[in-house]
Amino acid sequence: MRPSKMAFVFVLLAGLALIVQPVSAQGDASDIISVGDMAPDFTVTGATRYGILQDPVSLSDLRGDVVVIAFFFRARTPG
């Protein structure tokens, strides 16, 4: 990359860093979850390495089990 392009990219990124403001949590302070708090119940479409499950899975269905939530953006999917 030429020095003039590098300088432009640097100035652009520095400008963006100055413009972007941190996003604060919206809502009531009582809605904030702290470390050690119980997770709120939620329902998702479950998936395994063999495909998507037919029935949705709720966190409350797994009470007493170890639950690992992994988010993989477009991993092992055709999309």
pLDDT in tens, 28-72: 666 677 888 888 888 888 777 788 888 888 889 888 888 887 776
pLDDT band at 11 (very low <50, low <70, confident <90, very high): confident
Whether residue 26 has pLDDT greater than 80 = no
| Residue 38: inside a domain | no
| Residue 66: inside a domain | yes
| Residue 35: inside a domain | no
| Residue 10: inside a domain | no
State the pLDDT at residue 73: 63
Task: Name the residue range of residue 58's domain.
Answer: 43-79
In terms of phi and psi (left: phi > 0; alpha: psi -120 to 50; beta: otherwise), the region of 6 is: alpha
Helices assigned H by DSSP within 1-78: 3-19
| Residue 9: inside a domain | no
Q: Can you tell me the distance from the alpha carbon of 56 to that of 54, in angstroms, rounded to the nearest whole number?
A: 7
Tally of domains in the chain: 1
- Residue 40 contacts by C-beta under 8 Å, 6 or more apart in sequence? 33, 59
